[in-house]
Amino acid sequence: MTKTAISSLAIKVFEKSVYDYHVHDDINKLASNPYAKKDFEHLLYEKNWIDTVQWHYEDIIRDPDIDPKEGMKLKRLIDSSNQNRTEMVEYIDSYFLKLYSNVISKPDAKVNTESPAWALDRLSILILKIYHMKEESMRKDVSEQHRKTCNQKLQVLLQQRKDLSESIDHLLEDLSKGEKIMKVYKQMKMYNDETLNPVLYKKDE
């Protein structure tokens, strides 16, 4: 796998994950990852499956008639999904850290605003947006204006996919040449930590 092929590879895997999910369209169905665990594609598939399930969590919780208890249960699922998403991004970044571990950075090399995995995270979400906007642009139970508006938005998303893909490939190329520095900061989220969230640790006082 060449470095410049990673964005196109990611799109292919993300699209497969989204398609596979919608075969059953069930938030309770576990991923059946078709890729070997040793392969980079396995990580990408797992990442997008998390995003896809959470996308549908977010749809459901916005039902104005949702039972409050079910809503709270769903909110906790979303929190857990967010944590899994962050951990998966950091795991993917570990792949890139290892990949570029022997690269010597140039004296004028700079740190990018986001790591490769967080850029791929944006691409994963974008593939979901494209899938669902395309669906909306082809609905039969809406007005022609609705379909037209959604199609216009779809074209913007497709252009964004092209731009983001190119940016990811450029970043990886720069990293491979030592023109950018591969540096990752852990998220250090505080609200799930019983020692850092005052609402949680004050319960013991």
Residue 3 is predicted with a pLDDT of: 46
Percent of the chain with pLDDT over 70: 96
Q: Is the pLDDT of residue 188 over 90?
A: no
Residue 201 is predicted with a pLDDT of: 77
* pLDDT band with cut points at 50, 70 and 90 for residue 34: very high
Please compute the mean of the pLDDT values over residues 137-157 and round it to a whole number.
Answer: 98
Average pLDDT of the residues of the chain: 93
Residue 205 is predicted with a pLDDT of: 61
Determine the straight-line distance between the first and last CA of the chain, rounded to whole angstroms: 55
* Contact (CB, 8 A) for 109 and 180: yes
Please compute the mean of the pLDDT values over residues 32-56 and round it to a whole number.
Answer: 97
Pick from 52, 57, 9, 11: which is nearest to 31 by CA? 52
Using CA atoms, how far residue 85 sits from 106, 114, 128, 144, in Å, is 32, 16, 15, 37
pTM to 2 decimals?
Answer: 0.91
Residue 184 is predicted with a pLDDT of: 85
Please compute the mean of the pLDDT values over residues 57-83 and round it to a whole number.
Answer: 96
Pick from 137, 119, 117, 140: which is nearest to 129 by CA? 137
Q: Is the pLDDT of residue 131 over 50?
A: yes
Report how far Cα 66 is from the mean position of its chain's Cα atoms. Answer: 26
Q: Is the pLDDT of residue 199 over 90?
A: no
Q: Is the pLDDT of residue 104 over 50?
A: yes
Q: Is the pLDDT of residue 202 over 80?
A: no
Please compute the mean of the pLDDT values over residues 120-125 and round it to a whole number.
Answer: 98
* pLDDT band with cut points at 50, 70 and 90 for residue 204: low
* Contact (CB, 8 A) for 181 and 96: no
What DSSP string runs through 5-33? GHHHHHHHHHHHHHHHHHHH--TTPPP--
* pLDDT band with cut points at 50, 70 and 90 for residue 1: very low
